[in-house]
Amino acid sequence: MLDILDKGVCDNSMIRKALSSYIGKVVTINYNLGRNKYESYKAEIKKLYNQVFLVEVLDENKSIKSFSYADIITKTIKILDK
């Protein structure tokens, strides 16, 4: 699991730096939709930008999803390495 949040104060640059080692690797993303609704994706992290990062969901559609670094800070998503 991406454990950067356990180290105290973190910001976008710290999360981006931590995610840079995951580029091209398959991870599991657990997405909290609220009201006890969750989605889980097997995805490959494709690109990192200043405020968001892109993942390619490994399913039959090969869809691209984007998440913000704020989603990690607020624990809306959790990234688990395979």
Among 46, 34, 21, CA closest to 77 = 34
Looking at residue 31, what is its pLDDT?
95
The structural domains of the chain, with segments of one domain joined by +, span 4-81
Averaged over successive runs of 10 residues, the pLDDT of the chain (82 residues) comes to 66 90 94 94 96 95 94 91 77
Looking at residue 7, what is its pLDDT?
63
Find all residues with CB under 8 Å of 62, minimum gap 6, and list them: 56
At the topology level, CATH places domain 4-81 in SH3 type barrels. (2.30.30)
C-alpha to C-alpha distance for 64 and 67, rounded to whole angstroms: 10
Find where tokens 């984007």 sit: 66
Question: pTM of the entire structure?
Answer: 0.87
Looking at residue 11, what is its pLDDT?
86
Burial class (CB in 10 A: 0-12, 13-18, 19+), 72: buried
Token pair for residue 55? 């993942």
Looking at residue 35, what is its pLDDT?
93
Looking at residue 10, what is its pLDDT?
80
